[in-house]
A and B are shown apart, each in its own frame.
Chain A
């Protein structure tokens, strides 16, 4: 297993380069943030301050979708107060972030074939990973589920770097009609996979983790939690594991699926 040596996080003043809607309720913000862009690893995140003042006292954690050339890109869903406010930020505005943070995806030594399984905004931490795997010569399959064809995200990027893509939509407007987890058993069986990476709603990740375990394939999950400090101090973002409660911000957000003690899904709407 290789996991890049942790690069010290720092406060960085970033400038918004672009901030635009890419699908219903989903936005992509590009930030000039040279230090983070050059040091962030796939699966890591930044802790973004939404605005000055005390109206948004907590930063918001966002996975880095892509990074390079001095800029980072973040895919986000306008679910609550913070993300709705973020969607109103115009190019040129300065925001401060802490990054890079967290333990990202691990690429097994000698991996040849990988499956990425994303549900909804679960693609957010997978863009960099798909690019990295492809660069390293790993054959990548992406399975993405969404409510409808128009909500499938970053198709160009994934179709460019993946050997194969498979889609499922709730309304059947693209790919299979139903959940992506209906397709994954076949994708897992069809390939001699070295690793499965998944991010999305926890019930989906839990099913993918079970399917991976059944097939004897290593699986990593990226989990989302409400977070205050982002650096391991406040213990807000804990995840239950077989080794006790771990912090999503420093021990994760990426965990080995086999270590997770799955809990009743937190209502995603609780995030604000």
Chain B
């Protein structure tokens, strides 16, 4: 095999390659262990974790849409104590960086999870989810205003020593100003985009296809929107950008890196091909080798304009 250096850095975090999993699409990794050697991945980003167990939304929770899907899972999770005892304990021995996605209804909720995770050596970084469109309180409510985003990042920054990634919502007028606001409060990186708020209606029943009515759109349908936002944010902030939104193969991953992403996350593609992450890592290495690119990190921001 070629000698492409696949390592990338996200602040203090060094990853063996730039491909991680998108929160909520990969469980805690364990669910995919029959298909993926987790130690191959750049990082596992876990499902969102809150202080107390959350039951999530009613069914149906998903709907297929053109080149994509809607979901309204609603951040169902067993709470941070059960997460640490079961998911994190299992992940700890897998030789893969673990990035825990943190959710809350209130600033205090985010802070409490971050404080609890501070005691866990297995946590490599936190991803602050201020962009989930599927909960009534918290989630996207924080991520759609500069003040809200800044406030929760400031509070969590004060209690965690781990690299802090902030996951941004595309459901805003100007994602750049949100990115700047969280950078100013000490975010070590930003990840984008979370899902786009969408809706589908069943014309036979006249009912929304999702029990909640609206949900988050993911998959290749949103990729051009995501690439555009990564490109805008990457040139406006000094911290690394983790790009995601409909990445299905290595060329899609390369596209995000050219737009300015230092790393990428794979979400909906895991449902199509449970080994998608590994195929993308292998493909990205080939992509570089074929073009005489020695370090994958050279792709970051290499767009010709």
Contact = CB atoms under 8 A, between A and B. Distances in A.
Contacts of B61: 226, 235-238
A210 interface: no
B305 to A, nearest CB: 28
B279 to A, nearest CB: 11
Interface string A52-82: 0011111100000000000000000000011
Interface in A215-272: 225-238, 244-245, 250, 263, 266-267, 269-270, 272
A9 interface: yes
B209 A270 contact: yes
**Consensus secondary structure, chain B interface:** loop
A49 interface: yes
A59 B271 contact: yes
A58 B62 contact: yes
B64 A57 contact: yes
A113 to B, nearest CB: 34
**Consensus secondary structure, chain A interface:** loop
Contacts of A98: 274
A269 B206 CA distance: 11
B289 interface: no
The 3 closest A-B pairs by CB, nearest first: A233-B27, A233-B31, A54-B67
Given A9-B34, A235-B76, A245-B76, A266 B59 contact: yes
A32 B124 CA distance: 44
Interface residues of A, number: 37
Contacts of B62: 58, 226-228, 234, 236
Contacts of B270: 229, 233
Interface of B: 24-27, 31-32, 34-35, 47, 55-56, 58-64, 66-69, 71, 73, 76, 202, 204-205, 207, 209, 219-220, 248, 268, 270-275
A266 B207 CA distance: 11
Nearest to A82: B64
B60 A226 contact: yes
B34 A57 contact: no
B56 A238 contact: yes
A11 B275 contact: yes
A10 interface: yes
B56 A245 contact: yes
Contacts of B55: 244-245
Given A269-B204, A270-B205, A235 B56 contact: yes
Nearest to B35: A11
A88 interface: no
A116 B72 CA distance: 35
